[in-house]
Amino acid sequence: MIAIIDYEMGNIGSVLKAFSYINCPAEEVTDPDKLKKYDNIVLPGVGAFPKAMDNLKKRNMDQAVKEEIKKGKNFLGICLGYQLLFESSEEDFSGTDDKTAVKGLCLLSGHVRKFNSESGLKVPQIGWNSIDSTDNTGILHQFNGRYFYFVHSYYADVTNLNSTKNDVKSLNTYFSFTEYGKRFASAVEKDNIMACQFHPEKSGDDGIELLRKWVKT
């Protein structure tokens, strides 16, 4: 059984429908204590990072997520659920210091930043784009060069990490990358965590295949 965390940040229905399509029972979960009975946990989400963190904290779901991941449970973050894993976000933040920006779950090193529309980019990025998983060694490596569906104005910046390829192998963290005006981290695998900026549940056959492989890990 799969737990889909419902913290009032959208896209629950499409995620439930995708797992139903591959015959994997999934349930919405609003009570953090109930996460204990599930082996697979999904944190979806669309909307604003600060509101999402506030919703998680009000429900004590932030600590529950960390605890269940620490136990080694299979975890998938999607879109906003991916961004929340990082240290902070500059969304709705007027300062310049990452240390005082809106804090995330701090399960991944890096910061969430806004695409620069002055470069001529359309923000948000809406549509299909490919992922470069050349240096990934897990599930995502099997999807190198394939296209997935993105909808987002903010991206994960991991350029300050101490690795020439940004795969942070010393930390057992492997990022996949996408080009959209800049090269950004569009997905990650770290131990029992897999998370992606794109929406596998909206990405056709490749997205469904990705979900199948994640469930089987």
Query: Is there a contact between 149 and 123 (Cβ–Cβ < 8 Å)?
Result: no
Say what the pTM is.
Answer: 0.92
Mode of pairing for the β-strands spanning 74-78 and 193-196: parallel
> Which of the four CATH numbers 3.40.50.2300, 3.40.50.1110, 3.40.80.10, 3.40.50.880 does domain 2-216 have?
3.40.50.880
pLDDT digits (tens, 9 = 90+) for 127-164: 999 999 988 889 999 999 999 999 999 999 998 764 43
- Using the structure block, give the residue that is written with the tokens 């695409």: 115
- For the chain, the domains span 2-216
Q: Which residues are bridge partners to 4 per DSSP?
A: 28, 42
Q: Looking at residue 100, what is its pLDDT?
A: 62
| Secondary structure E strands in the chain | 2-5, 26-29, 40-43, 74-78, 88-89, 102-103, 111-114, 125-130, 147-152, 154-157, 173-179, 183-190, 193-196
What's the confidence (pLDDT) of residue 127?
97
Instruction: Mention every residue, 6+ apart, whose C-beta is less than 8 A from residue 153.
Output: 114, 115, 123, 124, 125
Give the pLDDT score at 164: 38
CA-closest candidate to residue 29, choices 65, 83, 69: 65
Binning pLDDT at 50, 70 and 90, where does residue 99 land?
Answer: low
Would you place residue 117 in the very low, low, confident or very high pLDDT band (cuts 50, 70, 90)? confident
- Tell me, what's the pLDDT at 159? 84
Which residues are catalytically annotated? 79, 199, 201
Cis peptide before 124 (omega within 30 of 0): yes
Q: What is the pLDDT of residue 94?
A: 61
